[in-house]
Amino acid sequence: MNNNKFQFKVLAHDSKTKARTGRLFTPHGTIDTPVFMPVGTNATVKTMTPEELHNLGAEIILSNAYHLYLRPGAQTIAELGGLHKFMNWFRPILTDSGGYQVFSLSDFCKLSPEGILFQSHLNGGKKHFLAPEDVIKIQQDLGVDILMCLDECLPYPSDYERTAASIGLSLDWAGRCRDVHKQDGSALFGIIQGATYKDLREKCARQLVKMEFNGYAVGGLCVGEDREIMYDIVSHTVDFIPEDKPRYTMGLGTPRDLFKCVSLGIDMFDCVIPTRHARNGSLFTKSGRVIIKNARYAKDAAPIDSKCRCYTCTHYSRAYLRHLFVNGEILASRLNTIHNLHFYLDLMRQIRHSIAQNEFINLWKKFESDYNFRG
């Protein structure tokens, strides 16, 4: 751990939307925002080496405290020198607290004011108890740059009373997380919940802001609600986050989601879409998605996207990528992941550049006009 302390600076504003560029300073380096964080759940961004990620322009990745706590154990990773050394990635890492994973992956999970009792989704199904304090310790054992508070993730839909009570619990946990977070230069982010209830989102945001976190996430999005409602909630919630703090929509999203949320003032994103879609053979281009297993590509000598400069597009035809995919070859997952991550990371580079040039709206309009959303 070096002596660089977490900071955030806003660098430029778009004049027609709330979009902005900024810079995050972390113990393991700086990050230009808006930023997309590739997901490396198990201490690996699936199929990729860290050098490949860096060459694609990734500046920060997301990993998962829940998965690493269960296997191989945060203490083991700490003894091996921390998560950065363990996975050979020496740039910034953000870890999700695991709250979402406990709810979505566990066979059994029971909340109390003290914390969460849950059964592991892995072989054996052993029971574990995690208090908010434990979750901070796990993330500090991992030695990550940005930690997330433990919170309750509600199913969708949840009624008003249930949501209000849940916020009370999450706010209590957030305070306990903040109290035990060691000031070692790392950042701790609060997570704003409140489902689709605007007054609860406001209440949660205001309370968290009072606790003074290093950044604020909007959680509980993309859980089944309509896209327009989601955008409306993000737009509403952002107004209660201080201008000088980074804002992060967890788990988003599609290329369209990125544009929309950037326009609402969001700085940080993570999503499994580019990597998971890649492994399923669904490849992003500016004109929409290419489903590589389609028979029409069997003899297609063209690359996925003739304008793309990624390693995959500059070396391989659609015909070869289809051949690898239908044969279940691992190289298919690799080459497709390189392409999709390049698409996402390059899109974010273009978005940052357009904001700095005050041309964001034009880039967004061009994207919407070129992209075939049926794909």
CB 98 within 8 A of CB 130: yes
Establish whether the linkage from the previous residue to 50 is cis, with ω within 30° of 0: no
| Shortest CB 165 distance to a copy of itself, Å | 36
Identify which of residues 131 and 341 has a Cβ nearer to a copy of itself in the complex. Answer: 341
The one catalytic residue in 32, 96, 141, 257 is 96
CA distance linking residue 131 with residue 113, whole number of Å: 9
Cβ atoms of 192 and 205 within 8 Å: the answer is: yes
Residue indicated by tokens 């890649």: 278
Q: In angstroms, what is the minimal distance from the CB of 323 to a copy of itself? A: 5
CB of 332 to a copy of itself, least distance (A): 9
Name the active-site residue from 32, 141, 270, 305: 270
Cα–Cα distance for residue pair 28/8, rounded to 1 Å: 14
**Cα angle value 271/252/343 (rounded, 5°):** 60
- 245, 223, 249, 224: which is closest to 235 by C-alpha? 249
Q: Which residues bind a copy of itself (CB under 8 A)?
A: 42-44, 46-49, 71-72, 76, 79-81, 86-88, 298-299, 301, 315-317, 319-320, 322-324, 326-327, 329-331, 333-334
Indicate the residue among 81 and 375 with the shorter CB distance to a copy of itself: 81
- Is residue 300 part of the annotated active site? The answer reads no
Cβ proximity to a copy of itself: between 11 and 80 the closer is: 80
Quick one: 29 or 72, whose CB is closer to a copy of itself? Answer: 72
Q: Which is nearer to a copy of itself, 44 or 235 (CB)?
A: 44
Minimum distance, C-beta of residue 47 to a copy of itself, in the bound complex (Å): 5
Hey, which bits of 115-267 come out as E strands? Answer: 115-119, 127-130, 146-148, 187-192, 215-218, 247-249
Q: Does the active-site annotation cover 172?
A: no
Taking the C-alpha atoms of residue 238 and residue 261, their distance in angstroms, rounded to an integer, is: 10
Instruction: Kindly state the smallest distance separating residue 126's Cβ from a copy of itself, in Å.
Output: 16
Catalytic site positions: 96, 270
